[in-house]
Amino acid sequence: MLDDAICNLPDGRCSDQTYRLAVYEAGHALTARALGLKLISVKMLPRPPVLTSDKAFANNDWGAFVEMLESRIIELFGGQIAEEHCCGTNTCCSGDIARIDELAKLVAGLSDADDAEAVMFELEDAAVEIFADQKYRDAIVPIAEFLFHRAETGREVIDGPDIEAELDKHVPATEQKTWLKRVFSFG
């Protein structure tokens, strides 16, 4: 159980678990949008959305694989950042840090980085930079409302085109980059 003395539980609208999950998922979706990734679906479960980058590992391109791992780490941070911004805490899906840690260790190992923790902090900074943009912060609540209303009507899975159309109303689509500020690369 969460210890109230250590981890403040959200109040107001964010005390509703479904709404808080919608905020968290909005953070994932907005981060994916900022990275130029196409959303296939968003599940209203404590999981990041399914992205086109998850579906391909073509031509044994390890550089592309590391980029996909880096993007996933940034996206995982995005859910926590959105929840912290809107709800004042990131209690919804605190298990992400274990996933982030595991992925950062993979990135460090595959890219010969000395320190997985440095990888994690560098990628967290990239996620923070996304939400430093006011239009992304302003889009969290409307995207969360969209997801919340879908979940309330029994739609556990929101199709990519539906969430992409909602994202289009708030933040422009960007071209997929070979990464925002490629932290690690192969020579």
Sheet containing 50-51: give its strands across: 50-51, 39-43, 157-159
Q: Does residue 178 lie within any of the structural domains?
A: no
Q: Does residue 182 lie within any of the structural domains?
A: no
Q: Does residue 180 lie within any of the structural domains?
A: no
pLDDT > 70? residue 162: yes
Beta-bridged to residue 157, according to DSSP, are 43
Reported confidence tier of residue 8, pLDDT bands at 50, 70, 90: low
Q: Does residue 1 lie within any of the structural domains?
A: no
Q: Does residue 42 lie within any of the structural domains?
A: yes
Beta-bridged to residue 83, according to DSSP, are none
Domain that holds residue 74: 16-168
- In total, how many domains does the chain have? 1
pLDDT > 80? residue 92: no
Reported confidence tier of residue 14, pLDDT bands at 50, 70, 90: confident
Q: Looking at residues 5-30, what average pLDDT do you find?
A: 80
- The rounded percent of the chain whose pLDDT value lies above 70 is 76
Q: Is the dihedral of CA 187, 66, 94, 133 positive or negative?
A: positive
CATH number, position 23: 1.20.58.760
Q: Which run of H or E residues covers position 40?
A: strand 39-43
Task: Please report the pLDDT score of residue 51 as a whole number.
Answer: 54
Q: Does residue 91 lie within any of the structural domains?
A: yes
Compute the distance between CA of residue 167 and CA of residue 146 in angstroms, rounded to an integer: 10
Higher pLDDT pick, 86 / 176: 86
Q: Does residue 145 lie within any of the structural domains?
A: yes
Q: Is the dihedral of CA 85, 86, 92, 96 positive or negative?
A: negative
Q: Does residue 173 lie within any of the structural domains?
A: no
Inter-residue contact 61 to 83 (CB < 8 Å): no
pLDDT > 80? residue 104: yes
pLDDT > 60? residue 15: yes
CA angle (151 as vertex; 145, 134 as ends), nearest 5: 25
